[in-house]
Amino acid sequence: MARTPLLRSLEKLASEHHTARARGLTPAALREARRAVREKEARRGISLDRRRFLGATAAGALTLVLPRALRAADPPTIAIVGAGIAGLTCALALRDRGFAATVYEASGRIGGRMFSNTTSWDAGQVSEWCGELIDSNHRTLFALAARFGLTMDSLEGETPSGLENTYFFDGRYYPAADAERDFAQVYPALLSDLRAAGETTTYDHATPAGRALDQMSVFDWIASRVPGGHASPLGKLLDVAYVIEWGADTRDQSALNLVYLLGRQPDPDHFSMFGESDEAHHLKGGNQQIPLAIAKALGPDVIQRGHRLLRLRESPAGRHILTFERGPGGIDVVADWVVLALPFAVLRTLDLRDAGFDARKRLAIEELGRAHNGKLHLQFSRRYWREEGPWPGRSDGSTYADTGYQNTWEVSRAQAGEPGLLVLYTGGAVTDAMSTRTPFATVKDAGVLADARAGLGWLEKVLPGGTTSWNGRATQSMPHLNPLYEASYSYYRVGQRVLFGGHEAARQGGVLFCGEHTSLDFQGHMEGAASQGARAAEELARLLLGA
């Protein structure tokens, strides 16, 4: 699922064409039918998403509370490296099965790239330095939130009706209706590529078309499938969409990044006229509350902070020796089992020569794409974009442009107060050209101030009025500049799916792996990290019980 509002809009558009075609309707007729059904359901007091969620929970599909195992007389030593959401979820799921693990974290903070900013804004508003948006099919995150009594806000449900995205390319607005018309011409080619590629493309499972598309870049796909290619407004829009979505130039990305994300849609019957199931959510008060709640549940002795992994090697006896930097010195930890909940972007900087990994795993660690994204947050005295202006209709704050920035969305949805927060979200070369050289900084940093002033100038061409409405508050986050992350998240470069795709999660002897980079379904998402942490715990528990 998409990280950004733009990709969710494009996914929704593709889904509408898919479902409308299956039902013999036009997209406009399908939307009208869905609207009528939603109004009927609202009158009956029914929330379909809530009903589905509760049903799945009752069936046990979302619970992380697993049966407790019989404790061995001599319990195994389990070391989990990384106290982000992947490592913490793994530790929690293992504990639920009766297995104790120690979590080693390099920094003094819990949560990794779930990192909330609760102190920078007027009216007590909250932003996220890294992962922000949660979709309704992110079941692991919903289950964790429910387990710890945390509230999910529905962002789209809070947004007033009648607001729309704003596109601006080549010095003029590109109305959403024109984008839908243009997309209708591209959809048949997209659907054809999706069907030919097959359900998935990995190193051990690929169709001829899947292999060919993996060897093609997103840039070349747009040039060959979109009428007018990159000179067309839709071509420019798609290029921006995938640069920000994966944090890299489209020339560097596998075309399957686009085909699978935009083209793959649920069975038409799944929607059953009830509207889309991928609404955006955010945890009220900040997403970091989930890892903090897990850490509290695990107890104070489970997480060892200030332990930065330097080396992993296999001992002659088949155990694993982890060398950590701790303060001015170092320490060796010997473990029977190791779970590496660190990004491959970080693992590639470690000494793994004697870890016993196979060649394909080493290649994935070294070469998997490392996204560069920036989040420049600006707070305004009011949410002026929702008002009438020179832009088409009234904007929802989601803009896409080529004026110097790439994308914005409103962060202050479902938050109280008169001020409004926009994030200027960038990827690839645009991010790299920013003045900020600190991973996480406020407007007190000269680079952030320079970026804020530049961003306001770029935004002024699309949503004029921002410069006079800005209240002087700003932050910039560049996760790839943090040596503990080295990337915003992972992505597949050209040819990488057939080279090692699917092997990222493969166990190497007594070493298991988890994180967003090991997820084929939710790569780059918080859900990918959390669900893979649970998967690694289940895999390890089966091994231990089998032993």
Average pLDDT over residues 140-164: 92
Q: Which two tokens stand for residue 182?
A: 């243009």
Give the single-character DSSP code of 516.
G
Domain closes at, from 459, 481, 503: 481
- On whether both 378 and 231 belong to a single domain, the answer is no
Average pLDDT value for the chain: 89
- On whether both 85 and 108 belong to a single domain, the answer is yes
Q: Is 105 flagged in the annotation as binding?
A: yes
Cβ atoms 333, 103 nearer than 8 A: no
Is residue 202 assigned to a domain? Answer: yes
Q: Which domain holds residue 209?
A: 176-243+250-263
**pLDDT, position 14:** 72
**pLDDT, position 15:** 73
List, for residues 97-143, the tens digit of each pLDDT value: 999 999 999 999 999 999 999 999 999 999 999 999 998 899 999 99
pLDDT at 279 over 90: no
pLDDT at 40 over 80: no
pLDDT at 68 over 60: no
Is residue 34 assigned to a domain? Answer: no
- On whether both 238 and 89 belong to a single domain, the answer is no
Answer positive or negative: Cα dihedral of 256, 128, 5, 133: positive
Is residue 292 assigned to a domain? Answer: yes
| Rounded CA separation 158/350 (Å) | 45
- On whether both 380 and 514 belong to a single domain, the answer is no
Is residue 230 assigned to a domain? Answer: yes
- On whether both 318 and 466 belong to a single domain, the answer is no
Give the total number of structural domains in the chain: 3
**pLDDT, position 5:** 66
Answer positive or negative: Cα dihedral of 513, 514, 517, 523: positive
Is residue 314 assigned to a domain? Answer: yes
Q: Is 106 flagged in the annotation as binding?
A: yes
Is residue 38 assigned to a domain? Answer: no
Is residue 364 assigned to a domain? Answer: yes
CA distances from 192 to 23, 209, 225, 497, 540 (A): 18, 10, 11, 19, 40
Is residue 170 assigned to a domain? Answer: no
Q: Of how many residues is the chain composed?
A: 547
170 phi-psi bin (left φ>0, alpha ψ -120 to 50, beta other): left
Average pLDDT over residues 466-493: 98
- On whether both 298 and 362 belong to a single domain, the answer is yes
CATH of residue 351's domain is 3.50.50.60
pLDDT at 25 over 80: no
CA distances from 386 to 8, 75, 169, 392 (A): 20, 59, 20, 11
